[in-house]
Chains A and B, each alone.
Chain A
Amino acid sequence: MSPDQRFLGILDTSPFRIAIVYSLVFACGAALLLGVVDFAVSQVVDRSTDNLIDAEVQGLREQVMVLSRSDFIELVEQRSQDQDVRGAVYLMVDPQLRPVAGNVPAWPKTDSDDGRWIQFKAAVPFGDETREHEIRARRFKLPGGYNMLVGHDVQERQDVKNLMMRGLILAVVLTLLLGLGGGFWMGRRILAQAGAISAVATQIMRGDLSQRLPVRNADDEINTLAREINTMLDRIEQLTLGMRTVLDSAAHDLRTPLNRLQATAEGAMSQVTPGSAERRVLERVTTEVDHMRSTLDALLRIALAETGTVAREPVDLSELVASMVELYAPVTEERGIELESAVAGGAQVQGSRQLLAQALANLLDNAIKFTPDGGHIRVLLTSRSAGPEVIVEDDGPGIPADKREIVLGRRVRLDEARNVPGSGLGLSLVAAVTKLHGARLTLDDAAPGLRVSLQF
């Protein structure tokens, strides 16, 4: 796997997707929470500021009634300078809007006026320097065309609001990043575990039943699952080994008496004169033993292939097919059959060379048996992207479409083939060997003849 594929693989894992969804939900939650807090805080702070300003406006309105203009200006100046009241803002202007008293340099040019409240920016002294501050204020008219502005510096509140907003954005971004990172990390872990599991599964499918999934000392779902699968594998291994033992016993119990029969017959044969009637009977016995032996061999090989306990190794399929063609070529020539072959190089499969050779030999034996003298047999090995494909094609009688499934079963000989010698297990063995190698066996009409294809 290339780094790119591995990276994309992680994005596809379920933990990564879950992490993405959760971090989005958390981010939205965080945004909502901060929004609500911000709203509530500004409500409380705004109202208390407004109350403060209202009270001040009320006070000044009362003072303007009782004080002379100069005293009032004095009062405004005094309050403007008052260091105890932080953030209080005053401005008194004449009818031409020129400042008369107060701590704001100019009458705000703002039009945004909801009737009572205005909000504007003004340069206010701040320690040694001046700063543009956000001011919330009320305006009201004074006698003689003068105007008065009373407000409060809300820059601090704005600062808090900005800070909260920045915190909010930061929190959302961090949540997303953490979610992504966490998801990525978990995805990698899952991929690593899944990778280990699939590596073991591949080995098990190759026939190594002793392999077990890696289990860590933890009780998470993956480990629990791995433990359960391992228990299952123990059971499968027991059953398969049991099958293998039964197979070995059956082989032993059938081969031993056959061997005695063979030895007895051959022993007796050396005692009788060649050509005598007794000799012929004994020869008949050994011939039958040979038949039984080849049937037994075929059955045992089928059973062995079906237990899946055959040791597997890399097999050069190209070499194998080419050498089988070469092995059978003289026989076909003798029969006047044209054996045509096209073998692509470099095809490799994992499996049993001997069983594959036997399967190919059965296909070629069959093809030769059923192809009339002067006919054609084609053997092809093609390399597809999915894997190699072996095709054996003859122009014999073929197999009727409705019987193609049946011939792959145990010991089926079609009526048409009764007069041709053979155990009838040939194709069953091909089927078992194909299955053992995880390949697909298909029988088709070669029009005329049979076309057998093994797709690895």
Chain B
Amino acid sequence: MHILIVEDDEVARDYLAKALREVGHTVDVAGDGLAGLHMASSISIDLAIVDRMLPKLDGLALVQSLRATGRKLPVLILSALGDVDDRITGLRAGGDDYLTKPYHVSELLARIDALARRGESGNAENSTKLKLADLELDRMTRRVTRNGKKIELTAREFQLLEFMMRHSGQVVTRTMLLEGVWDYHFDPQTNVIDVHISRLRQAIDKDFDKPLLHTVRGAGYSLREDE
């Protein structure tokens, strides 16, 4: 994937670029908002990571200008400001996701992966049936089966599984789950998400040979068919 990083902090930018290249992305960098806007308008860029506070052109203004030209590429906003309101402002300006500094590279990688695939699997958003290996989920009847056998889930477990299935094959972090399933943006001190996941795992993997729900060490979870 061709990723543009617009960030004025050289140290952070270089490490980020390096990390993205290591996982196989092509990376372009810009040090200020104007250069960033110019480069983001180029057709070859697939995704942009934009810092919120930039010289020459503010990060939010950059995203707004970009959206005004009709450019739809996914944008992840990085912010060193407070949070709560800033997140909403960032998303309203046209950002697709919002991450507060300092962040783990694994968190950022998981999020850009999700953003990139959101475009591809546009149909999955609307399709009523989600399927992974022998696991099937019907959004209309709210019925989950594995290998044809019905699996009983609570309403929240269903939501959690639906989210995981929409992101199947990707790494999903705890904060992504808390945001995506519960719509909360804070770090709980207790391992609440882990316990919910382990319950879901009990429900869908316990009686079957091949586990589908995997823990990705230091990052989060992934729902995938093991090779």
Contacts and interface: CB of A to CB of B under 8 A. Distances in A.
Contacts of B187: 294, 297
Contacts of A286: 104
A96 interface: no
Interface string B17-61: 011001000000000000000000000000000000100000000
A397 interface: no
A186 B190 CA distance: 60
A405 B202 CA distance: 44
Interface in B73-130: 80-85, 88, 100-105
Interface in B173-227: 182, 184-192, 195-196, 199
A259 interface: yes
B159 to A, nearest CB: 11
A260 B11 contact: yes
B85 A300 contact: no
Interface stretch (A63-71, A101-109, A231-239, A350-358): A350-358
B152 interface: no
Interface string A267-307: 10010000000000000001001000110010011011000
Interface residues of A, number: 49
A266 B182 CA distance: 29
A132 interface: no
A49 interface: no
Nearest to B157: A330
Contacts of B11: 260, 263-264
Contact of A262 (B103, B191, B192): B103
A361 interface: yes
Interface stretch (A50-58, A321-329, A406-414): A321-329
Contacts of B182: 323, 327
Contacts of A326: 156
A160 interface: no
A293 B80 CA distance: 11
A255 B102 contact: yes
B185 A330 contact: no
Nearest to B191: A331
Contact of B84 (A289, A293, A352): A352
Given A258-B102, A263-B12, A330 B186 contact: no
Contact of B81 (A248, A259, A323, A364): A248
Interface residues of B, number: 36
B56 to A, nearest CB: 17
Given A323-B182, A331-B192, A361-B188, A263 B16 contact: yes
A300 B184 contact: no
A288 B188 CA distance: 17
Contacts of A266: 15, 19, 104-105
B15 A354 contact: no
Name, among B16, B22, B184, the residue most crowded by chain A CB atoms within 10 Å (CB to CB).
B184
B18 to A, nearest CB: 6
A255 B83 contact: no
Contact of B192 (A297, A327, A354): A327
Interface string A355-378: 101100110110011000000000
Contacts of B104: 262, 266, 286
Nearest to B7: A259
Given A267-B18, A304-B84, A259 B9 contact: yes
A258 B84 contact: no
A247 interface: yes
Nearest to A263: B15
Contacts of A216: none
Contacts of B192: 327-328, 330-331
A369 B189 CA distance: 10
B199 A330 contact: yes
A104 B196 CA distance: 118
A354 to B, nearest CB: 5
B195 A297 contact: no
Contacts of B81: 248, 251-252, 255
Nearest to A365: B189
A247 B80 contact: no
Name, among B9, B11, B182, the residue most crowded by chain A CB atoms within 10 Å (CB to CB).
B11
Interface string A334-362: 10000000000000000010110110011
Contacts of B103: 259, 262
A310 B84 contact: yes
Name, among B82, B182, B188, the residue most crowded by chain A CB atoms within 10 Å (CB to CB).
B82
Given A258-B102, A354-B84, A330 B15 contact: no
A300 B82 CA distance: 6
A297 B81 CA distance: 10
A285 B18 CA distance: 20
A311 interface: yes
Interface of B: 9, 11-12, 15-16, 18-19, 22, 53, 80-85, 88, 100-105, 156, 182, 184-192, 195-196, 199
8 contacts: A261-B102, A266-B104, A286-B104, A297-B187, A323-B182, A331-B190, A354-B84, A421-B189
Top 10 nearest A-B pairs (CB, nearest first) are A263-B15, A255-B80, A259-B101, A259-B102, A262-B102, A330-B195, A258-B102, A255-B101, A252-B80, A267-B15
Given A255-B102, A300-B83, 5 more contacts: A259-B9, A264-B15, A327-B184, A361-B186, A361-B189
